[in-house]
Amino acid sequence: MNGNPRRSVKLGDLFAIKHGYAFKGEHFGTEGSHILLTPGNFFDEGGFKKKGDKEKWYSGKIPEDYILSRGDLIVAMTEQGEGLLGSAAIVPESSRYLHNQRLGLIQNLNDVNKRFLYYLFNSHPVRQQIRASCSGVKVRHTSPSRIYDVKVDIPPLPTQRKIAAVLTAYDDLIENNLRRIKILEEMAQNLYREWFVKFRFPGHQRARFVDSPLGRIPEGWKLKLLRDFITVDKGISYKGEFLTKDGIPMVNLKCIPPGGGFNRHGTKPYAGVHKSRHRVVSGDLVFANTDLTQAGNIIGSPGLVPRCGFDQGGLASHHICIVSVGKHSPVGKMFLFHLLQSGGFREFAKGCASGTTVLGFRSDDALAFEFVLPPQQLTERFEQIASDLYDLGESLNDRNTTLRRTRDLLSPRLISGEVDVSELDITVPVEVAA
């Protein structure tokens, strides 16, 4: 700690907070020129969350002063979800996102590094102070004045930059792995579409096509129903009182993005009584049988239960169906996952669904879905390629779990000064030094 004097300040000594703009609800929609950011665009632990099909677009007139730029530091001023208040994020690109009234924009920095400030905001002592001073009963809020009163100890600016550089290196590795995982997923999806939707499979030039109730298909391919290959088991009904910080991980609707996949941040720990037949393990195929809105974007979307977090097994909620594949089935889980993801099944599920405020469909209805079954040799070839791509993605996810764990252990020690990097020769990237 010698040569690295720290100073005690209030956050209000370091920056100012600009309130967002009250954009008019009449211009909210599923499309528009810009995306309106909300507290839902933050992870609880901090960081920017892209919501995909759930983004809130804005089509009205936009004040120029409320269009965010790449690198802007924003803070959640309203607790839309448990633990979200005070979460900080860095805007990933310019001229796309809008500064909404429930967010604070950090500006006018005074002797503090922006990226260090991002990690400082997401540290436990700062978040705890913000939470302790908030107001509201059902929905908690904070304000610039309350944030300004938060007390912190910070090192000199050069050391802040080094701390930020170390932690940013971890985040960059994690983000790079996420991009690689996305590419692997797209490779499998594109291969499925080429072979089994567009019928450009190996040897397709020599194939003859015949008419079928589902259109022109290669000769020798057969029309089948899902019930010929799978059984479906609905997850458990649960009580909210048993959703705790510790328990068995439960797969729920938040785990299934629209269109399919798996959101690892969506699981809920469950400590209630459950039936063993509802347990899920790594590699299990599941799909959403409910959509809590009338949009139907999630219903029928499939997911594959990941390795991380499910090594001891888990549960599925009653909004999720668990798929069991027959022992002698000519198709495997990878083929079935992409079959359910391809679009036809999701439209079929939405068409079968009923409900006024909540859409849902019976698991038995799913079994009536009709599809084109390719020759087993071709499905086995796809299964092997897709499984290899999935395993590579899981390895990268495992690596990210280790990186996050290491970063989260290191971050409080660096910010508190317990680990001193002031004398270390650390290269500080330009974007971090700013």
> How far is Cα 50 from Cα 235, in angstroms, rounded to an integer?
28
pLDDT at 412 over 80: yes
Domain C-terminal end among 121, 154, 187: 154
Boundary (domain end) residue, out of 358, 373, 388? 373
Residues 269 and 362 in one domain: yes
Contacts (Cβ under 8 Å, ≥6 apart) of 321: 232, 233, 234, 235, 286, 287, 288, 289, 363, 366
Residue 425 CA to residue 434 CA, distance in Å, equals 18
Residue range of the domain that includes 100: 7-154
- DSSP conformation class of 107: E
Same domain, 114 and 236: no
Which class for 203: exposed (0-12), middle (13-18), buried (19 or more C-beta within 10 A)?
Answer: exposed
Token pair listed for 94? 């310019």
* pLDDT on residue 244: 75
Calculate mean pLDDT across residues 407-413.
96
User: pLDDT tens across 90-138, in order?
Assistant: 999 999 999 999 899 999 999 999 999 999 999 999 999 999 988 877 7
| Residue 165 placed within a domain | no
Mutual angle of helices 376-416 and 333-341, in 10-degree steps:
80
Q: Sorting pLDDT into bands at 50, 70 and 90, what band is 1?
A: very low
Q: Is 12 exposed, middle or buried (0-12, 13-18, 19+ CB in 10 A)?
A: middle
Both 256 and 349 in one domain: the answer is yes
Helix axes 157-192, 376-416, angle to 10 degrees: 170
The phi, psi pair for 427, rounded to 5°, reads: -75, 125
Tokens in use for 294?
Answer: 């009338």
- Per-residue pLDDT reduced to its tens digit, 195-210: 999 999 999 999 999 9
Q: Do residues 227 and 366 both lie within one domain?
A: yes
Domain shared by 25 and 103, yes or no: yes
Average of per-residue pLDDT across 309-331: 88
Residues 232, 367, single domain; the answer is yes
**Which is higher by pLDDT, 179 or 248?**
179
The verdict on 254 and 358 lying in the same domain is: yes
- The H-assigned helical ranges of 193-302 are none
CATH code for the domain of 283: 3.90.220.20
Q: Say if 429 falls within a structural domain.
A: no
Q: Which of 100, 132, 154 lies at the terminal end of a domain, its last residue? A: 154
pLDDT in tens, 288-301: 999 887 666 889 99
Q: Quick one: CA dihedral 288, 289, 292, 297, positive or negative?
A: positive
Question: Number of C-alpha atoms within 13 angstroms, CB side, residue 334?
Answer: 20
Report helix angle 114-121 to 376-416, nearest 10: 100
Mean pLDDT of the chain: 90
**Distance set, CA 370 to CA 288, 348, 349 (Å):** 18, 9, 12
Integer angstrom CA distances of residue 245 from 40, 271, 275: 20, 9, 21
Burial 96-106 (b: 16+ CB within 10 A, else e): ebbbbebbbbb
Do residues 239 and 358 both lie within one domain?
Answer: yes
pLDDT at 267 over 80: yes
259 and 346 assigned to the same domain: yes
Taking the C-alpha atoms of residue 125 and residue 119, their distance in angstroms, rounded to an integer, is 11
Please, which pLDDT band fits residue 277 given cuts at 50, 70 and 90?
low
The residues with which 391 forms a beta bridge, in sequence order, are none
Distance, in Å, from the CA atom of 211 to the CA atom of 223, rounded to the nearest integer, reads: 11
Are 145 and 228 contained in the same domain? Answer: no
264 and 354 share one domain: yes
pLDDT tens track for 24-51: 988 998 888 899 999 889 988 899 988 8
CB atoms within 10 A of CB 273: 9
Has residue 386 been placed in a domain? Answer: no
Is the pTM value of this prediction over 0.75?
yes
Same domain, 148 and 228: no
Q: How many C-beta atoms lie closer than 10 Å to residue 183's C-beta?
A: 12
Examine residue 195 and state whether it is found in any structural domain, yes or no. Answer: no
In the block, which residue shows the tokens 């960081």?
Answer: 47
Asked whether residue 33 is assigned to any structural domain, the reply reads yes
CA end-to-end span of the chain: 25
Looking at the 3D structure of the chain, how many domains does it have? 2
pLDDT recorded at residue 171: 96
In angstroms, rounded to a whole number, what is the distance separating the alpha carbons of residues 187 and 175?
Answer: 19
